[in-house]
A and B are shown apart, each in its own frame.
Chain A
Amino acid sequence: MAIGHALLGLLEGGPRHGYDLKRAYDERFGQHRPLAYGQVYSTLSRLLKNGLVAEAGVEAGDGPERRRYAITDAGVTDVERWLGTPEKPEPYLQNTLYSKVVLALLSGRSATDVLDVQRSAHLGTMRELTRRKADGDLADQLICDFALFHLEADLRWLELTAARLDKLAAEVGK
């Protein structure tokens, strides 16, 4: 997730301190990975340098936590462009898994085992997400469902590959 864009989006609601921003981010997006303060301030200084945010007053005392930030017009345009641009549909795991299967076949190891172990790990994660969903609110459910559908897609690929191993073995053996 692009942290810069997320922070910009949060600033559209009004100016905030860095600490405030971190809290808002963690609450909405940080379920699994809360932001580190350093990340917040380095991101903010980058946004500042690029003119996407501006300082909006400093309270008495010093330290970055006294500074308030506001989104600029350029920042708003940037958020709009980000929201309007699709994410690259990344086939992130398949490359690794495909390589493992091919290497197993090449080296005379069991490719079925590779697939089984992966399926089991995928299902384990899916169980955990399913449990978390049962205890969570609607936001948790939607976030977990997103992950569940993606893991399911991986699993379907694993099943299909398992069903085609003989054919793949023949091709790899050529």
Chain B
Amino acid sequence: MSLLVAQDLHKSFGKTHALEGAGLTIRAGEIVAVMGPSGSGKSTLLHCIAGILPPDSGVVRYGDRELTSMSDRERSELRRTDFGFVFQFGQLVPELTCLENVALPLRLSGMKRRAAERAARDWMAKLEVDGVADQRPGETSGGQGQRVAIARALVTEPKVVFADEPTGALDSLNGERVMHLLTSAARETGAAVVLVTHEARVAAYSDREVVVRDGKARDVEFVR
């Protein structure tokens, strides 16, 4: 069943045509790698399908709703309830402890502090970072910070996790660990993952790949 469908997306930044007719389909629970050379439009595509950036033209559908015709408010509400995000650098709030960071999305949805922190602790344990719960992000290693960020992305049990070069700042060993934990956690909760990466070893954790070349996405079905 297709969960997220993008068709004929165009997006320009001044004279730069970042997307020129890109499209893709994400089914519930699948892990899709978005690959392609640097500057090919991967991040722009991700931002457009995740409702962060409105495309100049084209349609993005999520279930039976059309992202591209929602108001900013509706879109940010949808992002909060249904989507999770992981970027190259954790983007954790430096003043909060790691536990508070992971609990934050639940608190923003109105959950009581104790319940939110209990759920946050469970997710931190799954990602093997419960040891840094009381530390601030600045006191953790890069690999730990990314795993905290993944716990934060998954704590709301989103339907789709958008990950843009989640291992880009990590060494091979930490990158592997992050990918292993991210994909196993996503499979456990049934979340789909849109994984932007230019690294094949990272893409190898996906079920199939989509290649972006010159602002166009080319869907490659992987036959197992």
Question: Footprint of B on A, CB under 8 Å?
Answer: 116, 119-120, 122-124, 126-127, 129-130, 134, 148-149, 151-152, 155-156, 159, 162-163
Contacts and interface: CB of A to CB of B under 8 A. Distances in A.
Interface residues of B, number: 17
B222 A123 contact: yes
Q: Is the interface of B mostly helix, strand, loop or mixed?
A: mixed
Question: Top 9 closest A-B pairs, CB basis?
Answer: A126-B204, A130-B204, A155-B200, A152-B200, A127-B204, A152-B201, A120-B220, A148-B201, A130-B205
Contacts of B218: 116
Given A116-B211, A134-B180, A126 B220 contact: no
B204 A129 contact: yes
Given A120-B220, A123-B200, A127-B206, 9 more contacts: A119-B211, A123-B209, A126-B200, A127-B207, A130-B204, A134-B184, A148-B204, A152-B200, A155-B200
B63 interface: no
Interface in B182-207: 184, 199-201, 203-207
Q: State the main secondary structure of chain A at its contact with B.
A: helix
A138 to B, nearest CB: 13
Contacts of B94: none
Contacts of A127: 204-207, 222
A116 B220 CA distance: 9
A155 B184 CA distance: 25
B37 interface: yes
B201 A163 contact: no
Nearest to B223: A124
A156 B207 CA distance: 20
B37 A123 contact: no
B201 A126 contact: yes
20 contacts: A116-B220, A120-B209, A120-B220, A123-B200, A123-B203, A123-B204, A124-B222, A126-B201, A126-B204, A127-B206, A129-B204, A130-B201, A134-B180, A148-B201, A151-B200, A152-B199, A152-B201, A155-B200, A159-B37, A163-B37
